[in-house]
Amino acid sequence: MAPRPILINRDYTRLWFGQAVSSVGDMVFSTTLMLWVATVLAKGETWAPAAVSGVLVAGGTAVLVVGPIAGVFVDRWDKRRTMLGTEALRGGLVAMLAAVSFLPADALPAGVWLVLVYGTVLVLHASARFFAPARFTIIADLVTGEADRARAAGITQATSQTALIVGPPLAAPLFFTLGVQWAMLFNALSYLVSYVAIHAVRVEPSKPAPADGGGTGKAAAGRSGVLPEFVAGLRFFRRSTFLVALLVFAVIGQFGAGALNTLNIFFTTENLGMSARLFGYVGMAIGVGGVVGALCAGRVVQWLGARRTTWVSLLVSGTLLVVYSRQTGFVGGIVVLVLFTVPITVLNTAMAPLLLSAATPEYRGRVVAVFQPMTQLAAMVAAALSGWLAGSVLHGFEGSVAGLRFGPVDTIIAAAGLCILLSGFYARSALPETATAEGGEPAGEPAREEPAGEAGGPADETAVRAPAAAPAPPRRGSTA
């Protein structure tokens, strides 16, 4: 009998397969929405850029508003049922939008179409706030040991980056040849595949979390109420110096990556002399770097340990971003961008075992729910600040130091690299040798006698995000 391909174990393999299909569906869907809004719904209108940005605002709003409180419910509910419910909701919602989109574009006013699009994106991202922490905690029952957690986190990263390479190029032909409806139906089908994969996973029903660290079971959770449980989660987070340190350097690093995400299109066209038509190669470079980093991440974490991998990755990526800001040619810039994405991906892989070792099982959902809005807020502030600086304060800026010339965009990107470097130095000094999960379990060791962690956990949202080539969809494979 021919051997069946297994990743870590059978149940993790099932989850991975669902993620692989659904990640491609997400990338196709998000790219298609942007094309639909820009080239059909708002075609030729002066407000078209604002209409496109509304898609991003809708997704970010869901993270900021729903993210913090979602962890309370995830800690209460059965994790597998939560994942199944959110997939069914999202698949049905996308299918409904696909059905409506068969109407001619002029059948409804543009404002109504935009409300439908924004509402769909808002609900998809809000649902993802429940799905991601549930997945984050349920894999703790499927994958144990730091080596396997790092290996599986690398697999998740590689899958997401591969979807970034495959999804956008697939979306454009689907949209321009078959129409927006078929791209939406493709994504709805991907939710169905994810649902079937999750349904096939065999895991013990999760127990409801204690209300506030005392008492157990549904009765305790019911007595406490949502707000007290949310406050209890914040208190748990605040008491953990390890978690606070993780969050601080993640936010600092996010400022650096956020600036690159915002200004990279201007840097590549102005500083690298690249045609805007070639900007797709930037996304491909990011995807390639992400795949390489993901494949290397598990072994690097085994060699260096999760803690050391974290601060080393920050220092290397910060240095490479400064180097990237000094590039003046297309080939050199693309090469450095690939190299920059490798340690960023390794960093995100290392964060999974660190975060799990610092959070007891009953608080995992709420711990993730703190990271999500904080890193999202940092990314949004970084985007707004860098755009404002480039367009006003530093507009027309020119300078030189030791024969090196500086303009507004490359100066901001260099400063972004310094931010990531700063977060690396902070991480080296602030991360204790051991994480304290309400009792001081060593970092990277199983917390108490529970299975110790999520394999493909908070890769995109607990640390520094890699530069984005397209709007980030509500991915199921991350906590983002």
Write phi, then psi, for 401 (nearest 5 degrees). -135, 120
Residues linked to residue 401 through DSSP beta bridges, in sequence order:
404
CA–CA separation, 385 and 262 (whole Å)? 10
Question: In this predicted structure, what is the pLDDT of residue 115?
Answer: 92
Residue 122 to residue 347: CA distance in whole angstroms: 29
- Encode burial over 124-153: b for 16+ CB neighbours within 10 A, e otherwise: bbbbbbbbbbbbbbbbbbbbbbbebbbbbb
- Average pLDDT of the residues in 440-462: 36
**pLDDT greater than 50 at residue 478:** no
pTM higher than the cut 0.85: no
pLDDT in tens, 256-281: 777 777 777 778 878 888 776 666 67
Burial 285-318 (b: 16+ CB within 10 A, else e): bbbbbbbbbbbbbbebbeebbbbbbbbbbbbbbb
Decide: 161 and 291 in contact? Cβ < 8 Å. yes
Across all residues in the chain, what is the average pLDDT?
75
pLDDT of amino acid 401:
66
Residue ranges of domains in the chain, CATH in brackets: 10-430 (1.20.1250.20)
Q: Which of 29-43, 382-396, 434-448 comes out lowest in average pLDDT?
A: 434-448
Predicted local distance difference test score (pLDDT) of residue 431: 74
Express each pLDDT in 112-163 by its tens digit.
Answer: 999 999 999 999 989 988 888 788 777 767 777 666 766 776 677 677 777 7
Type of residue at 405: R
Mean pLDDT is lowest, of 183-197, 295-309, 377-391, for 377-391
Q: Which residue has the higher pLDDT, 449 or 344?
A: 344
